[in-house]
Amino acid sequence: MRTAHFNQRTGVLFLLATLLVTFSQFAASPLHQVPDNESAALFDYDRSVAFDLKEDSAKEQDGVTIRDVNYAAYTPQRGRIKAFLIQPGGKGPFAGVLFFHWYGTPNGNRNQFLDEAVSLAKQGTVSLLIQGYFPWAVPPADAKADRQRVIDETIEVRRALDLLLSQPEVDRRRIGYVGHDYGAMYGAITAGVDKRVKTYIVIAGIGSFSNWSLDYWLKAIPAPDKEAYQQALKPIDPITQIARAAPASLLFQFANSDEHIKKEAAIAFFDAASNPKEVKWYDGKHELHVEAARDDRRVWLTRQLRLTKPTRK
């Protein structure tokens, strides 16, 4: 009887110890610390939809091919997406970078990063520069419509990644993203739902679509509608999604005299992001047309994507 009692007691203790170990492992796991991204399913799409890629023109510039292309948008009402596809000479494999422009003047379109993409091509990079739609072509209107438009635009960013990765010479392990203003915000959302990008550069972005929509387009709507707008966009806001960017690395670039983004909002956006990350501040305004910022982007991408060193002039 004593032996049976001892065995029973030992079995119970072993079971308790096993449960405690299992619980401690679960509690320490990343899955427990960072809950699943329930909103990620909103950005799902059918990857079998054809691009119907067409080339309008092509030209050579210093050994680099600049292709002016267009392809079918995933959302039919958007029509076709204009883009530049920048390709270096040679067979690769090459790194790939997706560029998404800002909302502003000058160059609030796919031209914004064209010079940078050409320079990166000389270091062994294929780049895709896409033309934005919301809010560039269609302004914010109401909570329901704008929520869907943000989702649709993010899906177009993911589709642009598909197109970039479909280029046979692109090394899918060395993919970067560079976005400014709204381009940065869509990049931040993509970072939370798509793990194909190795590194992101987030230039003068803000954590919430509501801030700009309500300040610049929907300022006159009633207070309850403003609250409803904020709540509708919150689950998909950049500041919510960028917390799940890991393992991608993040470089944030902000202007000290940004007329649209308060410093505390910029810091909050950076603080919310997952590691590894770095932030740099520059003398200048929101357009951040600053040579130092451009140089830092090149240095960052050269290191993160293992590019060849730039040729000195």
State the DSSP code for 273: S
The pLDDT assigned to 18 comes to: 35
Residue 26 pLDDT > 90: no
| 117, 183, 262, 277, 283 from 113: Cα distances, Å | 6, 11, 25, 22, 20
The pLDDT assigned to 38 comes to: 78
Local confidence band at 2 (pLDDT 50, 70, 90 cut-offs): very low
Residue 132 pLDDT > 50: yes
Task: 77-84: list long-range contacts, CB under 8 Å, 24+ apart.
Answer: 78/133, 78/152, 78/156, 81/130, 81/131, 81/133, 81/156, 81/160, 82/110, 82/130, 82/131, 83/110, 83/128, 83/129, 83/130, 83/131, 83/160, 83/163, 84/110, 84/114, 84/117, 84/127, 84/128, 84/129
39 and 54 Cβ atoms separated by less than 8 Å: no
What is the sign of the dihedral through the CA atoms of 252, 253, 255 and 261? negative
The pLDDT assigned to 311 comes to: 73
Q: Residue 35 corresponds to which tokens in the numbers above?
A: 């809950």
pLDDT tens-place string over residues 80-129:
999 999 999 998 999 999 999 999 999 999 999 999 999 999 999 999 99
Local confidence band at 298 (pLDDT 50, 70, 90 cut-offs): very high
Q: Which residue's structure tokens are 């007329």? A: 259
**Cis peptide leading into 88, omega within 30 of 0?**
no
List b or e across 45-65, with b for residues whose CB sees 16 or more CB atoms inside 10 angstroms: beeeeebeeeeeeeeeeeebb
Residue 29 pLDDT > 80: no
Q: Residue 183 corresponds to which tokens in the numbers above?
A: 């381009």
The pLDDT assigned to 313 comes to: 53
Percent of the chain with pLDDT over 90: 84
pLDDT tens-place string over residues 193-217:
999 999 999 999 999 999 999 999 9
CA 224 centroid distance within chain: 31
State the DSSP code for 245: -
Distance CA 247, CA 311 (A): 30
Mean pLDDT, the chain, whole residue set: 90
Tally the residues of the chain.
313
Nearest alpha-carbon partner for 248 in 68, 144, 98, 123: 98
120 and 298 Cβ atoms separated by less than 8 Å: yes
Q: Which residue's structure tokens are 């998404």? A: 100
Q: Is 310 helix (H, G, I), strand (E, B) or coil?
A: coil
State the DSSP code for 157: H
The pLDDT assigned to 37 comes to: 77
